[in-house]
Amino acid sequence: MRHILSILLENEAGALSRVVGLFSARGYNIDSLTVAATEDPTLSRMTIVTHGTEEELEQITKQLNKLIEVVKVIDLNESEHIERELMLIKVRSIGKDREEMKRMADIFRGRIIDVTDKTYTIELTGTSEKLNAFIEAIDHAVILETVRTGASGVGRGERILKI
């Protein structure tokens, strides 16, 4: 099953590689990973999308907590949460296809952020499924490049992850 782990960790050199090393050494999956400093520059917030059985997730969480630099770990799946991913997608669009591509971007509430005679670059945010749906909806042959950030997540309502 797919899980989204939110991790608060010390913003120190090497902390990221400890997390990534743990996943590779123990054979856990990383579907996506995003990380950046928080409003408190001593802390980083990481979101890892992974999949595995409940037992595996329990081990992953425990192993993450064991890392000295990890402050807190929560599995966002345990309660309601919001997740968003950003995608930049560059597509070839010439002639009559240009209008069609613009319409598709509008339908998915994307924004065209760069334009040339032959291409559009579209910015899209949403759940990973929505981004997948956009890719499915357009002609694969016109896709020149896709860049995705991986999901970031946050608990709904009052639920917060802080020290």
Q: Which is nearer to another protein, 19 or 124 (CB)?
A: 19
12-20, 92-100, 102-110, 135-143 -> range binding another protein (CB under 8 A): 12-20
C-beta of 8: minimal distance to another protein in Å? 9
Measured at the alpha carbon of residue 122, what is the angle toward residues 146 and 107, in degrees to the nearest 5? 115
155 pairs with which residues across the strands? Answer: 81
In the three-class reduction of DSSP (H, G, I as helix; E, B as strand; rest coil), residue 94 is classed as coil
The continuous run of DSSP H or E covering 89 comes out as strand 81-92
Cβ distance 163 to 8 under 8 Å? yes
Q: Which is nearer to another protein, 22 or 86 (CB)?
A: 22
C-beta of 21: minimal distance to another protein in Å? 5
Q: Which is nearer to another protein, 60 or 131 (CB)?
A: 60
In order, the DSSP letters of 30-50 are -SEEEEEE-SSTTEEEEEEEE
Residues of this chain, 47-86, that bind another protein according to CB under 8 A: 55, 58-59, 62-63, 65-66, 68-71
| N- to C-terminal Cα separation, the chain | 28
Q: Which is nearer to another protein, 67 or 86 (CB)?
A: 67
Q: What share of the chain is helix, strand, coil (3-state, %, to 5)?
A: 30, 40, 30
C-beta of 98: minimal distance to another protein in Å? 47
Q: Which is nearer to another protein, 71 or 135 (CB)?
A: 71
- What is the binding site for another protein (CB under 8 A)? 9-10, 13-14, 17-18, 21, 25, 55, 58-59, 62-63, 65-66, 68-71, 163
